[in-house]
C-alpha cells in the first residue's frame, strides 16, 4: 500500500472514531437531560456565533501548514491539529424532542441550529436474543 494511501486510511479511521464517539456522547447527554428533567432552551445568537466559530475550527480542511512525519519503520503520520472533523450537533425541537445531526462544516451546523430543520429519524427496534443469533 502506498504511503499516501496509508495516511488517508489512517485519517479516515481516526475521523470515524471521533464522529462515533461524538454521536454517542451527544446521545448520552440528551438522555441524561431528559432523565434529569433539565430545561433545554434555544441558543442565543451569541451562543450560535460561538458554536459556529468552534465548528469552523474543527471542520476546517486547511492543509497548508500540515507536516508529514516520516518514521524509522517507514510509517508516516500527520498531526491534523484538530481539523478535518465531522461533528454531532444537537438541538431541542419545538415539540420537545431532541434532534442530532452530523455536520461537516460550520455553515451546515449553523443552519441546523438556527432553522426548524429536523434531522432524519430512524426507528430503533430491539432485537430478541434469537434474532441476534
SS3 call for 131:
helix
pTM of the model: 0.53
Whether 29 and 23 have beta carbons less than 8 Å apart is answered as: no
Residue 98: per-residue pLDDT: 80
User: Which residue segment(s) compose the domain that 32 sits in?
Assistant: 3-132
Residue 64, C-alpha cell as written in the block: 497548508
pLDDT number for residue 36 = 59
Distance (Å, rounded) from C-alpha 4 to C-alpha 119? 35
The phi, psi pair for 96, rounded to 5°, reads 95, -10
pLDDT attached to residue 91 = 82
- pLDDT, position 34: 60
Segments of the chain scoring below 50 in pLDDT:
none
pLDDT of res. 124? 59
How many domains does the chain fold into? 1
Amino acid at each position: 500500500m502506498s504511503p499516501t494511501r496509508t495516511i488517508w486510511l489512517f485519517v479516515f479511521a481516526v475521523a470515524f472514531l471521533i464522529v462515533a464517539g461524538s454521536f454517542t456522547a451527544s446521545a448520552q447527554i440528551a438522555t441524561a437531560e431528559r432523565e434529569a428533567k433539565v430545561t433545554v432552551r434555544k441558543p442565543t445568537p451569541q451562543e450560535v456565533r460561538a458554536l459556529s466559530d468552534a465548528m469552523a475550527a474543527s471542520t476546517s480542511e486547511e492543509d497548508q501548514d500540515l507536516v508529514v512525519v516520516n518514521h524509522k519503520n517507514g510509517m508516516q503520520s500527520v498531526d491534523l491539529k484538530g481539523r478535518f472533523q465531522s461533528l454531532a450537533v444537537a438541538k431541542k425541537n419545538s415539540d420537545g424532542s431532541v434532534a442530532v445531526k452530523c455536520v461537516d462544516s460550520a455553515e451546515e451546523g449553523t443552519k441546523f441550529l438556527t432553522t426548524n430543520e429536523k434531522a432524519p429519524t430512524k426507528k430503533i427496534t430491539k432485537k430478541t436474543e434469537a434474532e441476534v443469533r
